[in-house]
Chains A and B, each alone.
Chain A
Amino acid sequence: MTQTLTLAKALNAGLRRAMADDPTVMLLGEDIGRLGGVYRVTDGLQEQFGPRRVVDTPLAESGILGTAVGLAYRGYRPVVEIQFDGFVYVAFDQIVSQLAKMHKRTEGAVTLPVTIRIPVAGGIGAAEHHSESPEAYFAHTAGLRVVSVANPQDAATVLRQAIACDDPVVFFEPKRRYHLKGEVDPDVDLTLAEPMDAARVVAPGDDVTLVTFGSLVGTALDAAVAASDEGISVEVIDLRSLSPIDHARVEASVRRTGRLVVVHEGPRHVGLGAEIAATITERCFEFLEAAPVRVTGHDVPYPPARLESHQVPDLDRILDGVDRVLGRVAVPAGSTTGSTTGSTTGVGA
């Protein structure tokens, strides 16, 4: 049954449904029990399912992940909450060396269906370590699947898919969109749902393919509307899965538009944009009318709140990227060959 839910409530509904469906689903994290998580995503779940299934852990992320590995070893399906993006690094070894590699290490004897929920990205005026976009680290790691949701319905459905998946999944939640509302059916039949690793065209268009995910999908859609006012037709693709990447969907679009802009909050260097631009160039070079353009966070530590508007690509920077891929703006002197944007002066917005 469909209801209007915020993205955070949709996650809660997805968790509730997953726990009801499968008694081996257990939640682990800091402050997820009585408090319901700092973003209330697990609100009421401990009450409903008990403290054995919704477990407040000691304050140690490597401990949480290592415990999840052991639980999965025993046949459980743990869902871990990392309180904020910047706190996942202390669990890096357990994710990268243990969780990601155990299935391979044991020649398939052990499967570890662990889901790691991470509130991600900036734009909320937070303190240091609360606004990061670490997706590239995990997308770079074989054995992990990485997904990023952008709307309430996906929040519920993709989370259930991630939990049901026998591979470990890093599940990114765009924290500044937690309050985004939408119509949600938390009980959709997963056998009929779109696969978790499929990208989705969220706005059709003919002139430019704009690829993004998570927190910036909404901004990209706004950019497409603004561009259309100027007669530019932008196709927006919500990547949804960051590993694997649905290159085929992007390629099909670029073969029509001939122009690719990739947008993400994470730093540009060795970011998702580099992978997508390279792959699309390899796969359909002859269809490209212009070099792919990346609009990304700068290659700097995430700045303090008063400067974060310069880090997170906004409507103007995305439109600037669209203009550049169309050859509509001169590249400022001294900048690299048009593949980056440091400018916040866009046109047309």
Chain B
Amino acid sequence: MPDTMGDAPREDLPQAGATTVRETSTNETTQEQTDTAVRLVDAKGVRHPDPELDRWLTDVDAGTDEADATLLRLYSDMVTARRLDTEATALQRQGELALWPPLLGQEAAQVGSARAMRGDDFVFSSYREHAVALVRGVTPAQLTPVWRGVTASGWDPYTVGMATPQVIIGAQTLHAVGYGLGVLADAERDPGSVGDDGTAAVVTYFGDGAISQGDVSEALVFAATWSVPVIFFCQNNQWAISEPVRLQSPVALADRAAGFGMPGVQVDGNDVLAVLAVTRAALHRARTGGGPTLIEAVTYRMGPHTTADDPTRYRDAEEVASWADRDPIERFGAWLRTRGTLDDEAERRVREEADAVAAELRAGCIATEDPPALQVFENVYATPHAALDAERDTYAAYLATLVADAADAGTHGGAR
């Protein structure tokens, strides 16, 4: 496929707020924007103060036991997510899952943003947000059924405050806007229900490829127009299957926000602390009538698009290696060690906990039985539907003849 954007330079792309694109002629394929994105903990694990963002981190900077516990929680969330991701990939290789879209490399973007939310907030995600789901309270065993092929969902959205995976690229961003409009309507109908810290908010996750979808643009328009409390959280992991982000946009994705009339923030998506701070700030603005924000979390998809993908066909090992140097877990761990929050003992406990979650995922996955055949007819409609009931009964009668045939033939097969 021709690359109509040419070989636009990654290093020279403007940051959020800039308006021009400079032309050079390098062969870089991905956006190396992390050198100027908002960052609090760098790739070496060094914490850099930031007066603007640090306001949102007073609780974790406090030096108290609770602060340490919160930081360790972020760390263990990321370690657990990665461990679980590895386990699921293995389950796919072993034939227990039909497919798995790995989140490897995106742990900080997902955990930092998800930990910024409140229980009454709501998430509309795509299909790769396993760490977000875990943080929201989805159990490990509820994560795999979709990918095993036994259901299209896996959990009840209302019990965890998160919609089930969306496969149509970008569609969920509009659902977030509608849900957020409902939040505003609720608040207007019952102003007493809104506390001092504002309304609930909605966070929608989508990718760098999704930014090109019409639905995403429409969602940005609608949200900005109505000042809906939605955070548009774009994980720019540099790739949409084999298409590099430069094919989607000649400018930084966060730059688009200005044209829609909302703030756009580009954050180092491999820095969990910066992601937490930026998301908290955006959520606060959303809750208190300030409207939507577009956050571009610059990160990298370290693994294949899904277990069915072969990324060696379209990207270089050097590129992957360069991102490995910016690993979100190693960097955060290094910082936690320098500040004395993490030691070998704590590390061991975190790893054990992660192993236990992975074991839970495996056990849950393997124990999942195929649903009964007639389930295909269930929940198509919420209200009675005589025609579909009749169709189901006809098929049930047909299936019964197979059982009878099999019994006659003394076999268990369904073939006649």
Contact = CB atoms under 8 A, between A and B. Distances in A.
A66 B174 contact: yes
B179 A71 contact: yes
A143 interface: yes
A66 B171 CA distance: 7
Nearest to B387: A244
Contacts of A247: 387
Contact of B157 (A58, A93, A109): A109
B380 interface: yes
A109 B158 contact: yes
Interface string B383-396: 10111100000000
Contact of A74 (B153, B168, B179, B383): B179
Contact of A98 (B168, B218, B221): B168
B382 A103 contact: yes
A94 B378 contact: no
A70 B158 CA distance: 13
Contacts of B152: 101, 104-106
Contact of B182 (A74, A94, A97, A167): A74
A194 interface: no
Interface residues of A, number: 46
B151 A107 contact: yes
Contacts of A69: 174-175, 178
Contacts of A107: 151, 153, 378-379
A348 interface: no
A143 B222 contact: no
Nearest to B167: A97
Interface in B168-185: 168, 171, 173-185
Contacts of A58: 218, 221-222, 225
Nearest to A78: B178
A53 B182 CA distance: 10
Contact of A108 (B124, B219, B378): B378
Interface in A12-65: 23, 26, 52-53, 57-58, 60, 62-63, 65
A190 interface: no
A109 B153 contact: yes
Contact of B177 (A53, A67, A110): A67
A299 interface: no
Interface string A190-203: 00000000000000
A78 B381 CA distance: 18
Given A108-B378, A245-B387, A62 B225 contact: no
Contacts of B174: 62-63, 65-67, 69-70, 94
Interface in B109-155: 124, 151-153
16 contacts: A57-B222, A66-B215, A67-B181, A70-B180, A70-B181, A71-B178, A72-B178, A73-B182, A74-B178, A76-B185, A93-B168, A94-B215, A97-B171, A106-B379, A109-B156, A110-B158
Interface of A: 23, 26, 52-53, 57-58, 60, 62-63, 65-76, 78, 93-94, 97-98, 101, 103-111, 113, 142-143, 145, 165-167, 244-245, 247
Interface of B: 124, 151-153, 156-158, 163-164, 168, 171, 173-186, 188-189, 214-215, 218-219, 221-222, 225, 378-383, 385-388
